[in-house]
Structure 1
Amino acid sequence: MTPSIAHPQTIRAHLARALAAAALALLAGCAGTPAAPVAGKAAAPAQWQRVHLGAGYDFPVYANHRLDGDLSSIREVVLVQHGLQRNGDDYYAAGAALLKASGRNPDEVLLVAPNFAGTPDGNKGFAGMPHWSVQGWISGEDAVEGPARVSSLQVLDDLLAFFTDKARLPQVRKVTVAGHSGGAQIVHRYAVLNNVDERIRAGGIDLRYVVANPSSYLYFTPVRPAGADGKSFAPYDQARCPDYDKYRYGMQDMVPYAKGADGMALYRRYAGREVTYLAGTEDNDPNHRVLDKSCGAEAEGPTRLQRARGYLRYERYLAGPGLVIRHQAYEVVGVGHDQARMFGSQCGARAVFGMPEAANGGGAACRAPQL
């Protein structure tokens, strides 16, 4: 069934309002204060839901439909993953605004914002659920508190199992897992490491990942961008960073979720998965306040934009004859470290919400990566 799309002029008007609302929500979330309501509307805070997963643990998510209700009309699932602040409510609010702007029928799209609780989040009401160290959830570490010491990557496995269960959601044909910044770091590593992708696609469901402005990427071999222009590759100087190739940047000391994985075998499998990279052309501050400045990240380049370009070159560097890389990549022109504008861009809204570029004249323009 072709998704229903509203008139392009209506969509453009919605998008302008949605980007403003989404930006306010995310700025408020970063500041640690409640999101500002859209002018003229008394916006109620989003309420999280408790979903029962996997081997018997509960996990909090924000969603636009009751997950214990009738989901038989849902045709598409979109997961938007929060960043370092673990503020799923703000990412849900931003995603909901952009979903409305897309013109898609909300009765057919299930929007979900998972919320990985950190150890400082005791006042958020997530009692009796897994809690991770402040950044451990980003890389797939196991929970450090709670009834289930489960990997955050296993949680994503279990969420996908929930949303691709044909008894629960019989009409779902597409699932998109999207993340920005810290959320993009876990989405990227999940896209590389999970063992469920091919099985889900074999079941007739189109599984896609959107990775926007992460601070770092997972390398499959010990080389990193080298040379003045970063266009060649060589092992990094261990005198400068002895642990540069340890996980979450490389293959050494892998998390238990992916223990024993072989780097090149992972690369060949990953190349066949549906991944879209988005990089803001203005996300180029080497001193950005939440940029990963560890030496393992610095080995990939000085800024997020340069790290993105270096990784795209690296994928091509690794590819042998006959290997098809099913990845797409875009640079979002004039946009920095801004989730709402990245996902509201012409290529971002198409990748996340299936919004035609012709209907999104107000979104930031996109271009091919400058490699």
Structure 2
Amino acid sequence: MNDAPQKLLAACILVSLFGVSQAASAPAWQRLHLPVPEQKPGYDFPVYANHKLNGDLRSIREVIIVQHGIQRNGDDYYAAAMELLQASGRSPDEVLVLAPNFPGKPDTGFDGMPVWSVQGWTGGEAALPGTGTQAGLSSLQVLDDIAQLLADKTRLPLLKKLSFAGHSGGGQLMHRYAVLNHVDEALRVRGLEVQYVIANPSSYLYFTPERPDRSGAGGFVLYDKTACPAYDDYRYGMQNMVAYARSTTGMDLYQRHWQRQVTYLVGSLDTDPNHRVLDKSCGAEAEGPTRYQRAHAYWRYEQYLGKHASASNAAPASASHHYFDVQGVGHDQGKMFGSQCGVKLLFGDRAATGKQASQCLAVQP
């Protein structure tokens, strides 16, 4: 049963709660109205949250945006994040957990909202034609709109930190968002700490046409186009860029990204080259055979570009990027974010970690 929509607030937020989920442990999702000033009247979007978003948010000091994977199961990711919050010792009164839920073409119950192809949202592609008032809307723009809405000091006057976290397909989206978004610096100017926590994505966005050298030399070389003519196309490289970031160039993006606060996590057991939801396209295979190998190759690649940029004085060395192997964990979002480093990243250094929390091995540059 659906509740009636709430009245439009002065802050341009419209939230109406929908009926009880079929899963007893899952909350009802909330209909969030995201204003787009240049495209009024905006659009509605489904999210899970531990506070009523049309209620009093004046006590909120931190927001954790946790992004689901390709199953579009925001309720599961929300529930896992809430378990970690409750175990952390942090007061839920001051932490807003928010799980966006991107509707896919097979999904029902999202009338009037933008809908994406099953996996199109993971790369920032546009919503499908004829779906909602904002068909053509990039999933990256949705995250922009959520972030800027949350940064409104009239609604969240105590907000100090905004974390974007994603695993698997959600990690793909959050990785590309960390690279491509246009709001990070503006949010920091407004006094917010902004961080990105990216766990076990299938692929990464490369800034140049180079890829890991398969000869064993450990460097980076141009990939063989005869093996994969489109290996450097977006979502793996800079060619045929998604519309959201079409005016950008690779090294300009890298130099900006290099200064953002980004932490990459990979499970030490996420090593199956035939995992059922691993991206096996030739563009992804150019990055390595498994998520674990792709992660380590990309971490080396970031350092490789950093050394070249520093040598040319194009960008200083970064102390803002960190890399962790999560020991004994495969492709499991609960164990990744519930690891010792995952909990500390999301809930702070003083957060309590469970006895079964996996250890994390910091990967040095």
Give ranges in structure 2 of 5+ residues lacking alignment.
1-20, 37-41
Matched, 1:186 2:173: yes
**Partners of 1:78 and 1:110 within 8 A in 2:** yes
For 1:132, which of 116, 127, 134 is the aligned residue? 116
SS in 1 for 2:148: helix
Give ranges in structure 1 of 5+ residues lacking alignment.
1-32, 36-42
**Partners of 2:87 and 2:353 within 8 A in 1:** no
Distance 2:61 2:26 in 1: 26
For 1:245, which of 211, 232, 241 is the aligned residue? 232
Matched, 1:98 2:84: yes
**Partners of 1:212 and 1:279 within 8 A in 2:** yes
**Judging changes above 3 Å, is the alpha-carbon distance between structure 1 residues 235 and 50 closer, same or farther for their aligned structure 2 residues?**
same
**Judging changes above 3 Å, is the alpha-carbon distance between structure 1 residues 302 and 264 closer, same or farther for their aligned structure 2 residues?**
same
Q: How does 1:241-280 map to 2 (within 5 A)?
A: 241-280=228-267
Partner of 2:34: 53
SS in 2 for 1:131: coil
Structure 1 residues 359-368 or 304-313, which shifts more? 359-368
**Judging changes above 3 Å, is the alpha-carbon distance between structure 1 residues 327 and 230 closer, same or farther for their aligned structure 2 residues?**
farther
**Partners of 1:86 and 1:115 within 8 A in 2:** yes
1:368 Cα deviation after fit: 2.2
Distance 1:293 1:168 in 2: 44
**Judging changes above 3 Å, is the alpha-carbon distance between structure 1 residues 200 and 241 closer, same or farther for their aligned structure 2 residues?**
same
TM-score w.r.t. structure 2 length?
A: 0.88
Q: How does 1:70-149 map to 2 (within 5 A)?
A: 70-122=56-108, 125-144=109-128, 145-149=131-135
**Partners of 1:230 and 1:310 within 8 A in 2:** no
**Judging changes above 3 Å, is the alpha-carbon distance between structure 1 residues 318 and 91 closer, same or farther for their aligned structure 2 residues?**
same
SS in 1 for 2:335: helix
**Judging changes above 3 Å, is the alpha-carbon distance between structure 1 residues 329 and 62 closer, same or farther for their aligned structure 2 residues?**
same
Distance 2:358 2:85 in 1: 16
**Partners of 1:238 and 1:244 within 8 A in 2:** yes
**Partners of 1:347 and 1:357 within 8 A in 2:** no
SS in 1 for 2:133: coil
TM-score w.r.t. structure 1 length?
A: 0.86
SS in 1 for 2:304: helix
**Judging changes above 3 Å, is the alpha-carbon distance between structure 1 residues 172 and 357 closer, same or farther for their aligned structure 2 residues?**
closer
For 1:341, which of 325, 335, 348 is the aligned residue? 335
Matched, 1:363 2:357: yes
For 2:325, which of 331, 343, 361 is the aligned residue? 331
1:314 Cα deviation after fit: 0.3
For 2:271, which of 284, 296, 300 is the aligned residue? 284
Residue identity opposite 1:199 in structure 2: A
Distance 1:84 1:272 in 2: 29
Which is bigger in relative contact order (C-alpha 8 A, separation at least 6)? 1
Matched, 1:351 2:345: yes
**Judging changes above 3 Å, is the alpha-carbon distance between structure 1 residues 70 and 220 closer, same or farther for their aligned structure 2 residues?**
same
**Partners of 2:343 and 2:353 within 8 A in 1:** no
Distance 1:87 1:302 in 2: 26
SS in 1 for 2:178: helix
**Partners of 2:43 and 2:132 within 8 A in 1:** no
Distance 2:220 2:207 in 1: 13
Matched, 1:167 2:146: no
1:358 Cα deviation after fit: 6.9
Distance 2:317 2:28 in 1: 43
Residue identity opposite 2:293 in structure 1: Q
Partner of 2:290: 303
Instruction: Tell me the percent identity.
Output: 61
Say what the alpha-carbon RMSD is for the aligned residues: 1.6
1:354 Cα deviation after fit: 1.6
**Partners of 2:68 and 2:101 within 8 A in 1:** yes
SS in 1 for 2:323: strand
Residue identity opposite 1:247 in structure 2: Y
Distance 2:74 2:179 in 1: 23
**Judging changes above 3 Å, is the alpha-carbon distance between structure 1 residues 105 and 51 closer, same or farther for their aligned structure 2 residues?**
same
SS in 2 for 1:278: strand
1:104 Cα deviation after fit: 0.6
Distance 1:335 1:229 in 2: 26
Matched, 1:197 2:181: no
Residue identity opposite 1:66 in structure 2: K
